[in-house]
Structure 1
Amino acid sequence: MNARLQIVGALLGLLLIIASMCLFTVDQRQFAVIFQLGEVKKVITEPGLHFKLPMVQNVRFFDNRVQTLDSQEPERFITSEKKNVLVDSYVKWRIIDPQLYYVSVGGDESRARTRLAQTVNDGLRGEFGKRTVHDVVSGARDRIMEEMRGKADADARKIGVQILDVRLKRVELPQEVSEAVYRRMEAERKRVANELRSEGSAEAEKIRADADRQREVIIADAYRDAQKIKGEGDAKAAAIYGQAFGQNPEFYAFYRSLEAYRNTFNSKHDVLVVEPNSDFFKYLKNPK
Structure 2
Amino acid sequence: MKKLTYAIPVVVIAVVGVLSSVFVVDEREKALVLQFGQIRAVKEKPGLNFKVPLIQEVVKYDDRILSLDTDAIEVTPSDDRRLVVDAFARYRISDVVQFRQAVGVGGIRVAEDRLSSILNAQIREVLGADQVTSDTILSQDRRVLMTRIRDQARTSARSLGIEVVDVRLKQTNLPQQNLDATFARMKAEREREAADEIARGNEAAQRVRALADRTVVETLSEAEREAQVTRGEADAKRNAIFAEAFGADPEFFAFYRSLQAYEKALKGGNSSLVLTPDSEFFDYLKADGASK
TM over 0.5: yes
Match of 1:86 among 84, 87, 102: 84
Measure, in 1, the Cα distance between the counterparts of 2:161 and 2:229: 105
Measure, in 1, the Cα distance between the counterparts of 2:133 and 2:266: 103
Measure, in 1, the Cα distance between the counterparts of 2:31 and 2:210: 90
Task: Give runs of aligned pairs for residues 251-270 of structure 1, distance below 5 A.
Answer: 251-266=252-267, 269-270=272-273
* Alpha-carbon offset, residue 23 of structure 1: 0.7
1:127 aligns with 2:126: yes
TM-score normalised to structure 1 length: 0.78
- Structure 1 partner of 2:75: 77
1:60 aligns with 2:62: no
In structure 2, the CA distance between the partners of 1:4 and 1:250, relative to structure 1 (3 Å rule), is same
Deviates more, 1:200-209 or 1:260-269: 260-269
- Structure 2 partner of 1:20: 19
Alpha-carbon contact 1:43-1:98 (below 8 Å) kept: no
* Alpha-carbon offset, residue 247 of structure 1: 4.3
In structure 2, the CA distance between the partners of 1:97 and 1:228, relative to structure 1 (3 Å rule), is farther
State the one-letter code of the partner of 1:215. V
Deviates more, 1:154-163 or 1:208-217: 154-163
In structure 2, the CA distance between the partners of 1:122 and 1:211, relative to structure 1 (3 Å rule), is same
Measure, in 1, the Cα distance between the counterparts of 2:261 and 2:165: 118
- Structure 2 partner of 1:33: 32
In structure 2, the CA distance between the partners of 1:232 and 1:179, relative to structure 1 (3 Å rule), is same
Give the length in aligned residue pairs. 283
* Alpha-carbon offset, residue 19 of structure 1: 1.2
Alpha-carbon contact 2:91-2:165 (below 8 Å) kept: yes
Alpha-carbon contact 1:35-1:42 (below 8 Å) kept: no
In structure 2, the CA distance between the partners of 1:164 and 1:233, relative to structure 1 (3 Å rule), is farther
* Alpha-carbon offset, residue 55 of structure 1: 6.1
Cα-to-partner distance string for 1:225-262 (whole Å, 9 max, x where unaligned):
33344334434434444454454443222211221233
* Alpha-carbon offset, residue 212 of structure 1: 1.6
Measure, in 1, the Cα distance between the counterparts of 2:272 and 2:49: 145
Structure 2 unaligned blocks of 5 or more? none
In structure 2, the CA distance between the partners of 1:256 and 1:132, relative to structure 1 (3 Å rule), is same
* Alpha-carbon offset, residue 106 of structure 1: 3.8
Alpha-carbon contact 2:25-2:43 (below 8 Å) kept: no
Cα-to-partner distance string for 1:131-150 (whole Å, 9 max, x where unaligned):
33344345645554444334
Measure, in 2, the Cα distance between the counterparts of 1:220 and 1:180: 59
Measure, in 1, the Cα distance between the counterparts of 2:122 and 2:214: 70
- Structure 1 partner of 2:208: 207
Match of 1:271 among 264, 271, 274: 274
- Structure 2 partner of 1:99: 97
Structure 1 unaligned blocks of 5 or more? none
Measure, in 2, the Cα distance between the counterparts of 1:224 and 1:164: 93
Measure, in 2, the Cα distance between the counterparts of 1:118 and 1:20: 42
Measure, in 1, the Cα distance between the counterparts of 2:122 and 2:188: 37
* Alpha-carbon offset, residue 222 of structure 1: 2.7
Measure, in 1, the Cα distance between the counterparts of 2:58 and 2:209: 92
Measure, in 1, the Cα distance between the counterparts of 2:125 and 2:275: 117
State the one-letter code of the partner of 1:286. G
Q: For 2:275, what is the secondary structure of its paired residue?
A: coil
TM-score normalised to structure 2 length: 0.77
State the one-letter code of the partner of 1:14. I
Percent identical residues: 34
State the one-letter code of the partner of 2:207. K
Q: For 2:164, what is the secondary structure of its paired residue?
A: strand
